[in-house]
Every structure is written in C-alpha cells, then in structure tokens.
Amino acid sequence: MRTGTPCSPCSSGYCDPTPAAGCCCAQPPPRQSPLIDPGYLSDPRDGERLVKGMRVARRLAHTPPLQGLLGEETTPGPSASDEQLLQALRQTLATYQHPVGTCRMGQADDPEAVVSATGAVHGLENLYVIDASVMPSLPSANPNLTTMAIAEHCAATLLLRIV
C-alpha cells in the first residue's frame, strides 16, 4: 500500500479453528523459551472456512451502506480465486491474541482436563489456575467477560473453602 492511501480493512475471522498446535522444549527449561507452533491453517477445513468468510465480507462490502465507504479491494484483488484468497490468508493471517485451553477445566477422570470446576489443579493441593487457560475452547466473542465469570465463580468457591 502506498503511504497516504486511504485504507478501510474488511476482513473475516474464525473463532473455532481445528486444533493442531504443538509445543515442545528445545532445551530444558528455563534455559530456552518453548518452541510453539500454533498450527494455523494446518487443517484444510480452516482455510476453506476463512475463504468463505472472506467471500461474505466482500459481499457485505458491496452493500449500499458500505459500498461508498470502503473503496476498491487492492489485495488480493476482486477477481482472486479461492486459491489466491487462501494464499493471501497464509501471508496475512493474524491471531486474536486470546489463547485458551492450555489448562482445560474438567472432571478428574478426563485425561485432557488439568483443573477442576473450582480451578484446583488435579493431583496437587493448594494450587489453582483461574484464568482463560481453563476454557476448553475459545468463546465466539472476546473472552474477557467469560474469564471474569470463571474467576468470580472460582474465587467465591475458594473463599468458601478458606473461611
């Protein structure tokens, strides 16, 4: 984009990607940060859904309320094929920066659950995780309010146990 060129981005987002992320340690902690692969677009269904979302965003951009405000599409271009849209996605994909699910909440017999419904870490005493990491999946909205509700619930339960 040229400097000074008006820009009104129109984009689509996907709140429920197919999980394929991974994390490992290159060296024993704390010598080096973990290697994190978010696995973006590693499942073809995710790319297909985002391309559909881009097509919907394009249709919305051409409706009377928006048509005169957004200008012409410059990248990847109005006649781009699905493959070209997918390539543009691969080059510009960004995260919502709201990772969740690293300490999944659930029953003790759930092999993927790390904490109980009160935030207590399974198998350990007096250790709690009370943040967005306990959500099994990202809500289809900003997770701030959901996180606050979880924290309020867990804090109230913890206070009852302490008092």
Q: Tell me which residues are annotated as active site.
A: 98
Mapping DSSP to helix (H, G, I), strand (E, B) and coil, where does residue 121 land?
strand
Report how far residue 25's alpha carbon sits from residue 34's, in angstroms, rounded to the nearest whole number: 5
Hunting for tokens 């200008």 — which residue is that? 71
Token code pair at residue 11: 């984009």
Say how far residue 97 (Cα) sits from the centre of its chain. Answer: 6
Kindly report the number of other CB atoms within 10 A of residue 36's CB atom.
11
